[in-house]
Amino acid sequence: MAQLAPQMGGGKTSTSLSHFPRQLFIHCVASLPGFRQLAGHVPGVDKYGERALLMARRNDLVCLAHQVPEAYLEFLNELELGPDPAHIIRIPDATGEQTAVPMATRLQHVLASGMRWPKQLMDNRELWLNSFAASQLDAPMQSSLAEVLGNPVQLINEHPPQINLYDKHVFRQHADTLGLPLPPGESVMVDRDAATVSSRTLPVRHAIGKYLSFTGRVIVRGALGASGSSVFVVGDDDELQRCVQSIDKQEHTDFYLVEPFFDVEVSPNIGMFIDPRDGTISCVSASDQILDGQVCHLGNRFPSEARLVDQMVATATNCCTWLRDRGTSGFLGFDFCEYLVPGSTQRRFFFAELNPRFNGATYPAHLLAHVNRSGRPRWRAFRASTIQTTLPSFAALEELCRDLFFDGRKTAGIIPYNVGLLEHGKLMLAIFGESRGDVATLENELFLRLSNAQIRDSNRAVA
């Protein structure tokens, strides 16, 4: 692990992007396969594109569907983060349903309508399109932008059409062919045309029975799905019934991976970047996933406690070489699990899944690199997560916790992001410090204040 901390701290992610010409960020998640199902599972997911503000430089451009509080943009500017506010291009969904239409589609509609383009785009500069995830919408948008601007538009994230990176069961086959360490398991297909729940989900129940004896529990994952929306841990009859009932109601995928559930010591996410200009492959982050009992992702923490993280990076690098040689570029996240061999102290790891996109670990890793590169107090630890809160706005958060925010000088501090989620009772934030202890101390203080604020709000409501 000692070899990885300098990579992140030295700013690999930031360096990779800082050498690009001007970028147009479109981090709307609506282009992801299975998005409609995700939108129903995660309230406020239409706000996730706001995270691009953390990655953008002053002269970059960011497309968003909603307004961002001016005070928050000023806070980012104080940390030399985010674009010039004039470079935020707001393109709401014309249908009025902001979760329905991908930003790439909205942008194309604007281009096709002949509307006058924001002047910040019309300056004859080379432009790189930085999308949240490569999709079939990118190429038409790239062509339309190039025609309107009169200059080449390049893609940072690009996937070859002949390789399906999104369906977990398909990429598991590629991983097996490449020799990545995998747990026992198989993919099964539910029979949507069968007459009963029992018969429709029979392949899943059969596979669960097959692998249950390995560890006493199994994990069932839909081929498509994010934020735990298609993940089930089964160890008894009640959990089996809940699993098959849920699967029977899902419409976004017919394929499911069934594997033994291992009690893992740690589950690192290894962030990789394939440079579209010269094919250079680099590791840009290595942080541990924070998971609940149902393996739902709650956040990330750094530094990683994995003992085998160097081997995981080597495995991810080899896989990236194979992907690059077939036309893949941009950001990729590899999830691994490290576990103890039963009856011994020996550790092993296996590959769990690929996130062919930006993910929750990318943004705090970039912040860590940005601050450490700038010569400010050096951070060596972070915890990033989504929290529940009753605070209604960034102004309320700032009033309560401004002294805890990072200001460019403190050795520990908080950087909130995705503040649009506050209207849904949630907030994303990253807590940074020189050590895990610093992060824990600041986290405790933050949650104490949030808890006291919630109690005060409850008392006012009762009064």
Instruction: Tell me the pLDDT band of 37, cut-offs 50, 70 and 90.
Output: low
- Separation between Cα atoms, residue 287 and residue 309, nearest integer Å: 9
184-260, CATH topology level: Dna Ligase; domain 1 (3.30.1490)
Q: Is the pLDDT of residue 74 over 50?
A: yes
Question: pLDDT for 102-150, tens place per residue?
Answer: 888 888 888 877 766 666 666 667 899 999 999 888 999 899 888 888 8
| Residues sharing a CB contact under 8 Å with residue 130, sequence separation 6 or more, in sequence order | 17, 23, 24, 25, 26, 27, 52, 55, 60, 156, 157
Boundaries of every domain in the chain: 21-155, 184-260, 267-362, 376-462
| Residues sharing a CB contact under 8 Å with residue 19, sequence separation 6 or more, in sequence order | none
| In CATH, 376-462 is 3.30.70 | yes
The pLDDT > 70 percentage for the chain reads: 87
**What average pLDDT is seen over the chain?**
88
Question: pLDDT for 8-21, tens place per residue?
Answer: 433 344 446 777 88
267-362, CATH topology level: D-amino Acid Aminotransferase; Chain A, domain 1 (3.30.470)
Once rounded to an integer, what is the mean pLDDT over residues 331-335?
97
- Separation between Cα atoms, residue 56 and residue 397, nearest integer Å: 23
Q: Is the pLDDT of residue 96 over 60?
A: no
Q: Is the pLDDT of residue 41 over 70?
A: no
Which tokens go with 253?
């995928």
* Residue 97 or 153, more confident: 153
- Separation between Cα atoms, residue 332 and residue 270, nearest integer Å: 8
Question: pLDDT for 374-432, tens place per residue?
Answer: 666 678 999 999 999 999 999 999 999 999 999 888 889 999 999 999 999 999 999 99
- Dihedral angle sign, alpha carbons of residues 446, 448, 449, 451: positive
Instruction: Tell me the pLDDT band of 100, cut-offs 50, 70 and 90.
Output: low
Q: Which residues of 227-236 are buried (b: 16+ CB within 10 A; e: fewer)?
A: ebbbbbebee
Q: Which of 324, 334, 242, 238 is nearest to 285 (CA)?
A: 334
Looking at the chain, the number of H-run helices and the number of E-run strands are 15, 18
User: Residue 199 carries which side chain, given as an amino acid letter?
Assistant: S
